[in-house]
Amino acid sequence: MSSSKMFLLAVLLFVGKSVCGADLFRPGYVINHRGDTLQGYIEYRNWSTNPQVIHFRSTPTAQVVSYKPADLSAFSVAEEYYESAAIQVESSSNSFDRLSDSADFELKADTVFLQALVKGRKSLYFLKNREGQSFFFIKQGDQYVWLGYKRYRKQENGKNLIASNNLYIHQLQQYLNDCKDLILLISQTSYKTSSLNKLFNSYYTCTTDSANYTLPQEKMKTEFGLLMGVSTASFNFTSTQSFYLSGRHRGSTNLLGGIFLDLGLPRNFNRWSIYNELVVTSYTVEGSLTANQYQRHDVVFGQTQLKLTNLLRYKLSSFAEGGFYLNVGMANAFGIAEKNERITHRQYLSDAVTYDKALEIMRKYEQALVLGCGTNYKRFSLQARVDFGNGFSDYSSFKVSSTRYSLLFGYRL
Domain ranges of the chain: 18-78, 86-217, 221-412
Q: With 70 as the cut, is the pLDDT of residue 13 above it?
A: no
| Architecture per CATH, 221-412 | Beta Barrel (2.40)
Q: With 90 as the cut, is the pLDDT of residue 237 above it?
A: no
Least confident of 218-222, 251-255, 332-336: 218-222
Based on its alpha-carbon atoms, the radius of gyration of the chain, rounded to whole angstroms, reads 30
The predicted structure's pLDDT at residue 66? 96
Read off the amino acid at residue 329: G
In this prediction, residue 375 has a pLDDT band, given cuts at 50, 70 and 90, of very high
What is the rounded average pLDDT of the residues 101-107? 92
Q: With 50 as the cut, is the pLDDT of residue 17 above it?
A: no
In this prediction, residue 6 has a pLDDT band, given cuts at 50, 70 and 90, of low
What is the rounded average pLDDT of the residues 64-70? 96
CA distances from 349 to 294, 344, 352 (A): 10, 16, 10
In this prediction, residue 321 has a pLDDT band, given cuts at 50, 70 and 90, of confident
| Distance between CA atoms of residues 381 and 375, nearest Å | 6
Give the pLDDT confidence of 50-59 residue by residue, as tens digits. 999 999 999 9
Q: In which region does residue 391 sit, left (phi positive, over 0), alpha (psi from -120 to 50) or beta (all else)?
A: left
Please indicate whether residue 263 or residue 360 has the higher confidence score (pLDDT): 263
Least confident of 3-12, 273-282, 359-368: 3-12
Q: Which helix (H) or strand (E) holds 206?
A: helix 193-206
Q: Express the helix, strand and coil content of the chain in percent, nearest 5 each.
A: 15, 55, 30
Cβ-Cβ contacts under 8 Å for 228 (sequence gap 6 or more): 255, 256, 257, 408, 409
What is the rounded average pLDDT of the residues 185-211? 94
**Highest-scoring range by mean pLDDT, 2-11, 95-104, 119-128:** 119-128
Q: With 60 as the cut, is the pLDDT of residue 11 above it?
A: no
Overall CATH class of domain 18-78 = mainly beta
Give the pLDDT confidence of 178-189 residue by residue, as tens digits. 999 999 999 999
What is the rounded average pLDDT of the residues 158-170? 92
The predicted structure's pLDDT at residue 163? 92
Q: With 50 as the cut, is the pLDDT of residue 324 above it?
A: yes
| Distance between CA atoms of residues 339 and 234, nearest Å | 16
Q: Please spell the DSSP secondary structure of 11-37, one letter per residue.
A: HHHHHHTTTT-S--EEEEEEE-TT--E
The predicted structure's pLDDT at residue 125? 98
With CA atoms as reference, report the closest residue to 193 among 224, 216, 171.
216
The predicted structure's pLDDT at residue 343? 79
Percent of the chain with pLDDT over 70: 91
| Distance between CA atoms of residues 274 and 264, nearest Å | 6
Least confident of 67-71, 114-118, 362-366: 362-366
Neighbouring CB atoms inside 10 A of 386's CB total: 18
Neighbouring CB atoms inside 10 A of 370's CB total: 19
Q: With 50 as the cut, is the pLDDT of residue 242 above it?
A: yes
In this prediction, residue 299 has a pLDDT band, given cuts at 50, 70 and 90, of confident
Percent of the chain with pLDDT over 90: 63
Would 18-78 and 221-412 be classified into the same CATH topology? no
Is 374 buried (19+), middle (13-18) or exposed (0-12) by CB count in 10 A? Answer: buried
The predicted structure's pLDDT at residue 18? 45
Do 73 and 83 touch, CB atoms closer than 8 A?
yes
The predicted structure's pLDDT at residue 15? 47
What is the rounded average pLDDT of the residues 277-299? 82
In this prediction, residue 298 has a pLDDT band, given cuts at 50, 70 and 90, of confident
Neighbouring CB atoms inside 10 A of 350's CB total: 6
Phi, psi (degrees; rounded to nearest 5) at 49? -125, 150
Q: With 70 as the cut, is the pLDDT of residue 241 above it?
A: no
The predicted structure's pLDDT at residue 330? 97
The predicted structure's pLDDT at residue 97? 81
Q: With 70 as the cut, is the pLDDT of residue 382 above it?
A: yes
| Distance between CA atoms of residues 349 and 145, nearest Å | 96
